[in-house]
Amino acid sequence: MTDPSDEHFLKEIRNSSHQVVILERLLNGYVSVTKNSTMSPLVAKLSEDFLTEHYAKQINQRNWAIRMNTLYFIEDFHMKSFAPLVKEKLCKTHKLDQETQQLIRTLTSLNDPMTISVLAQYPEASVRLYIDVLKRLSPITRLQELNTALLNQENNKPLKYASISFIGTSGLTNFLPQIEEEFQNQDEEIRIQALKTVWHLQHLSDPSLLIPFLHSTSWQERMFATRIVGKLQLSRYKEVLSELLGDSVWWVRYSSAEALTQFSDGDVLLHHLAVHHPDRYARDMASQWEISLIGSEKQ
C-alpha cells in the first residue's frame, strides 16, 4: 500500500483532479488495516488538509446515504474540526433515528462526552448504543464517565447497565469494588449483569459474596454464580455445585456440571455424581460431561 506520508505522493494528490476520491480510498484502506489508525495524526492531518471542504458540503446534502457516509469518514479519519458542526446538527434533531445515532457515534469519536447526556434524553436509547459511545471515548474521559454512570445519580439504567457490561468485557478490574456493590442492587437485571462482569473479570474479593446467588430464586443468578465458581475454582462450593446439578432449570444444571470440570478432580466428581446423584437429570448431565471430558483427553 502506498505510504500516505510520501512527499511525492502528496504532490501527485495536490495536482490530481480526482484527489478526493483517491485520498478517501487510500485513507479508508489505511484505516482498515492499520491498528489504532483512527487515532493516527497523519490520517487526521491529511483528511483535514484535503477533505474538509468536500465533507462540509457532503454533510448537508439532501441525500441521506451521502450524509451518513460522510459521518462515517469523519469518524474514521478523526476529523476534529467537524466537532462543532456535528454538535450543532445533533442539537437540532429530536428523534433517535439512524442518522442521529451516527451523529452521536461520530461526535463521541472526537472525544466529546456530551453525547451521553444527549442520549439520556431518549428513553429508547439502547444499551448497545451506550456501549458504542463508551468504546469511542478516550481512556481518561471513559474512566470518568464510567465512574459517573455507576453512581447513577441521573437514574439512567441503560447507561449503568452498559457501563457494567463494558467494564467486564474490557477487563477493567479497578472497578471490581463498585461492581461488587451492585450485588445489593434491588434491580435483578443489574445484579445479573454485575455477576456476568465478575465472571469476565475473573476476580472476586470475597467468595462468600456468591452465597445468596447460589441459592437465589432467579435461575439466571444461580447460573452465573456457578460459572464464577468454576472460573475461579472455588472448591468450597463443590458440594453446592453437586446439588445444583439437580436444579429444575437445564441451564443451571449445565453450568454446574461445566463448573465442576474446572477442578483438578472434576472427572472423578462427575463420575461419582453420574452414578450416585439422587436426581436422574443430574445423573444424565454428569454423565454427558464425563463423556465429554474423556473425549477431549483422547484428542
pLDDT of amino acid 62: 95
The three cell numbers locating residue 222:
444461580
Q: What is the mean pLDDT of each run of 10 residues along the chain (299 residues)?
A: 53 63 79 65 83 93 96 93 95 94 95 89 95 94 94 90 98 98 97 98 98 98 99 98 98 98 95 97 96 72
Q: What is the phi-psi region of residue 111: left when phi exceeds 0, alpha when psi lies from -120 to 50, beta otherwise?
A: left
The residue whose grid cell reads 454423565 is 287
- Residue 1 near residue 28, CB atoms below 8 Å: no
C-alpha separations of 94 from 40, 98, 121 in Å: 33, 12, 9
The three cell numbers locating residue 158:
441503560
**Measuring CA to CA, which residue among 33, 110, 112 is closest to residue 79?**
110
pLDDT of amino acid 1: 44
Nearest-angstrom CA–CA distance, 200 and 173: 10
- Give the burial string for 137-156 (b: 16+ CB within 10 Å, else e): beeebbeebbebbbebeeeb
Q: Which long-range contacts (CB under 8 A, 24 or more apart) does 81-89 make?
A: 81/48, 81/52, 82/52, 82/55, 82/56, 82/106, 82/110, 83/107, 83/110, 83/112, 85/56, 85/59, 86/59, 86/110, 87/112, 87/114, 89/59
The SS3 call for residue 16 is coil
The SS3 call for residue 26 is helix
- Residue 50 near residue 13, CB atoms below 8 Å: yes
- Domain boundaries defined on the chain: 1-112
**Full-model pTM:** 0.86
